[in-house]
Every structure is written in structure tokens, then in C-alpha cells.
Homo-oligomer: A and B are copies of this chain.
């Protein structure tokens, strides 16, 4: 059976060009980038070449990029790194950090951890589309607020926040602004200088690069306390022998993202819009998230009377890979905190489906999905005690 992958928000396949770029660094140029000999120099060159590529995608300086082991680590370094620098502020009135209630666990759990250490955190609510209220953000700021961390785009429902306005407010109030751009990067042009962002998290495996690598943009002059200590790599912010093949992969993925962004966007958006149009023709189906301000590849639905896991496994039986929300959340059996935050009941939240598209999807695949989905929904509704219309 042909497989159709529609879970690019969870992770993407690695682009062939990316793997090709990585391979020599396993076999041939396998040196440690800190070593003086030719193997080490080759590795070091690749490291700096990749840094250039990541910096170029963001239009920032090379020295403003450090490499990490993924989006989660980037988020942790950014938030804890700034929080620990402002340790003494804990004894003042808060909030010290302002975030949103729909952040990825990498941000939310980090904030909760800081809360236990005495930092006061404000979790801004969002409206029914998942957008924070800018006025409320402004009102929430206290003179002790030193960090705002709000994601660029949500990993479940795809909603894009008014990052530029948030950046403006942060700047006016002299507050450091971090954004988790893991889902947005490569899908829309992002320039931290234009949107007043001081720290920005990237993860390679969401943009056709390898898993286990990420990057953090840190505005020049901003000082950060490391959370991993050791040999002093990456300007002392992230010690450990540099993962050269992974970093080369991320660099290549950034290069491709920059080159292909326009073309990919057109292709993916067209498929996505068709998907949404056709699926919303199903009875009692709804789109979650913002109708316009959403990632180009995100389609997120909810179907009355349907439970997500059953829907996923039924789609899987037809060769279609999808998600009910963040893949991580599936371990917890809890309805998604994002869907609850936009006002869905737990039952509604459980009835949700995320289809996230990628550059190698085709129109034929999309047609197949919209052909197959109604039958599945019908079947599950027949078993469901919550589908009143059946008689």
C-alpha cells in the first residue's frame, strides 16, 4: 500500500540533498571540530559553513547562531539561560516571565520548572482561534518582567501569533523576547531584527533536516547562562563535541528552505486549501485554529462524535499518517492543552485531527485522503454513542 505522510508537524522526512551533504562527515571528514589536524579543520570549516547558512536564512550574524541538540534544548537554553541571569528578580513581585497557555511543552514545562524555583510566570490565555490578546499582554507586564516567550506558530492548530507587535511591546518595555519558531521556520520568512526578537528556537527535523539538531539565535550582546557544562563549545553556551553531520544537515536544510520557500509555499498552500475545503463538506466538521493566520501546511479539524485515536488508526489502515495534536501529548491520554485553551470541551478536543503537509505531498494524495476520510468518519460515528443523528 502506498503511504501518505501528513504529519510534517511531528517530523519531516530528511531531504535527499540533506543526507547527501551529511554523508561525507560520517565516513571521511569525521574529525572533531576542536582538533588541530586536517580532519579537525575540515570539521571546523563545515561547522562554520553551516552556521553561515542558518544565519543567512534568518538574515542575522553568524556569531548570533549557536547549535543545539534540538528545539527542546533551544527553548530550555533560551528561557533558563535568561532566567538564571535574572535569578535575584525572583524575590520581586511578578510576573517575571510572560508566556502563553498554548506553548509547546518544551516551553511550558520549562516555565513550570522555573515556577517551582520561585519565578512568577503568567500564562496568557488565547481566543478561540488561539491568538493572544495584545492588550492583555501589555497590561500584564510589570517592572520586574524580564522575559516574554511566545511561540511564533502553534504546533497543533498552526495559529500564527502577532509576533511583530509582541516584539514592539517587548522592546518598548526593555524586556527580552524569545520566540519558539520551530514550526514556522522555513515556512515563512523570519528576520529577528524586523520583529524585535532577541532569541529564537529552531529544530532541524521539522524542516527536512535530521533529528537531534537545532539552533538558537541569540542577539549579539545578550548574555546567557549555560545549562550544559563542559568543554566550552559554542561559545560556552552548549558544550559537547559538535554533531558535525547533524549540523551540516541543518545547514543544508536551511539553505534549501531559503531557496525553495516561495515554490514550496505555493505548492503546499494549494493542497492544504483544497484539503480544508473538501473536508469541511463532511457533516459537523469544523476547522480548529485561525482561518487565515495559520501555517501554510496546517489543517486541523474536529468531527462531532469521533475520537481521535480511532480516527488515526483507521486512517493508518488506509496508509495515511496523521495526528491528533502534538505527537508528544499522545502519551498522556489528556486532551490537548491547546484545544482546551481555545475553548473546546474535552470530548471535542478528543475528536480532533491534524493533517500537516510537506513539500513532497501531491495533489493525488490529497484527493485520496478526501475520498477516504468520509467513510471512516461514518463508520466511527456508527459505533459512537455521541453521534445522535444515527437513527
- A interface, CB within 8 angstroms of B: 3, 5, 7, 10-14, 16, 18-19, 23, 26-27, 30-32, 34-40, 69-73, 75-76, 104-106, 109-110, 112-113, 203, 205, 210-213, 227-233, 239-246, 309, 312-313, 315-316, 319-324, 326-332
Contact = CB atoms under 8 A, between A and B. Distances in A.
B322 A37 contact: yes
Contact of A312 (B37, B105, B327): B37
Contacts of A70: 69, 240-241, 243
A106 B239 contact: yes
B27 A105 contact: no
Contact of A321 (B39, B203, B316): B39
Nearest to A233: B328
A245 B204 CA distance: 13
A38 B3 contact: yes
A76 B75 CA distance: 18
B35 A7 contact: yes
Contacts of A113: 229
Contacts of A109: 229-232, 239
Contacts of A321: 31, 35, 37-40
Contacts of A35: 7, 10-11, 321, 323, 327, 330
Given A69-B73, A75-B230, 4 more contacts: A7-B35, A69-B240, A109-B230, A210-B245
Contacts of A315: 37
B11 A328 contact: no
B27 A211 contact: no
A283 to B, nearest CB: 25
Contacts of A16: 27
B11 A19 contact: no
A105 B246 contact: no
B14 A31 contact: no
Nearest to A236: B109
A11 to B, nearest CB: 4
Nearest to A308: B36
A230 B203 CA distance: 14
B26 A105 contact: no
Contacts of A39: 3, 5, 7, 321
Given A211-B244, A229-B112, A10 B27 contact: no
B240 A105 contact: no
A203 B242 CA distance: 12
A337 B19 CA distance: 39
29 contacts: A7-B31, A7-B40, A10-B31, A10-B34, A10-B40, A11-B32, A13-B26, A14-B26, A19-B27, A34-B330, A36-B323, A37-B322, A69-B70, A72-B228, A73-B228, A76-B230, A105-B231, A106-B229, A106-B230, A109-B230, A109-B231, A113-B229, A203-B241, A211-B241, A211-B242, A212-B212, A231-B326, A231-B328, A241-B328
A279 to B, nearest CB: 18
A72 B106 contact: no
Contacts of A23: 19
Given A27-B16, A32-B10, A72-B240, A232 B331 contact: yes
Contacts of A313: 36-37
A227 B230 contact: no
B36 A14 contact: no
B73 A34 contact: no
A106 B229 CA distance: 6
B19 A26 contact: yes
